[in-house]
Amino acid sequence: GTRAQLSDGMNIFNWVPQNAEVNNTFFDWRIGTEYDLHKDNLLYATLSTGHKAAGFNDTQAFADRPLFNSKYGPKSVYSLELGSKNLLLDRKLRLNASAFYFAYSGMQFQTIVTVGEDDDPTDNNVPPTSAVRQNAKKRTDVFGLDADATYTLPAGLQANLHALLMDARFADGTIVNDNRLNFGAADASVDLGGNWLPRASAFTLNYTLSQLLYTEAGSFDWMIQGQTRGTHYMTVFNGDGTRLV
């Protein structure tokens, strides 16, 4: 690595080239069908694919080693959704519901390689905090139920309730390297099996009350929103940073 310096020789930051390259080409598709039970009721089904490109992590610079760079692969998903859309009670109530299944391959996630301040910026052997992306080698299955209800009240008021139930956990035997535990060691393997995906909750409820007002000066609206959700985690380790395989 090459370091930039001020005129008085004081070091201010690392300057490390990022020379890695990743190329991906994907073909995705979506098919769907629907069946109208009535003018206000329908059933539908969709099947689709999706991809997220591969990438590379920041180059690590060490004084006594060549520049080191790690890459991570693409993420792909098959998505299946079965649902119904309905207008009820003289069209005052809109009720939509669906069940879905996502099958992810190469699930991408981010972890931390080192934690803490760079105590000695002049020493390339002590790198500062950095984030690293990895891929889960096992397929990750996500199941869920989604329901949305909107009811039209007098005076332009509307009440909405949205509920989401989800099971979004890593498969058993999803082994990844967690360098937080043993930076630079040959084996810091952790089993993510049973851990929840980051920011995924078993349940989420969103509720809204809104009103649309028409006046000679124009239209005005206001909205009050709230949310209740279950326990969720910000990292794939679910708050546990001690489990080696």
pLDDT tens digits for range 52-69: 998 887 776 665 666 667
Output 7 or 104, whichever has higher pLDDT.
104
Our CA dihedral for 130, 240, 176, 243, rounded to 10 degrees, sits at 120
Secondary structure of residue 225 in the 3-state scheme: strand
Q: What is the pLDDT of residues 84-119, one digit of tens each?
A: 999 999 999 999 999 999 999 988 887 665 544 555
Q: Which of 187-196, 210-219, 221-230 has the highest mean pLDDT?
A: 221-230
Residue 210: is it exposed, middle or buried by C-beta count within 10 angstroms (0-12/13-18/19+)? middle
Q: What global pTM score does this model have?
A: 0.77
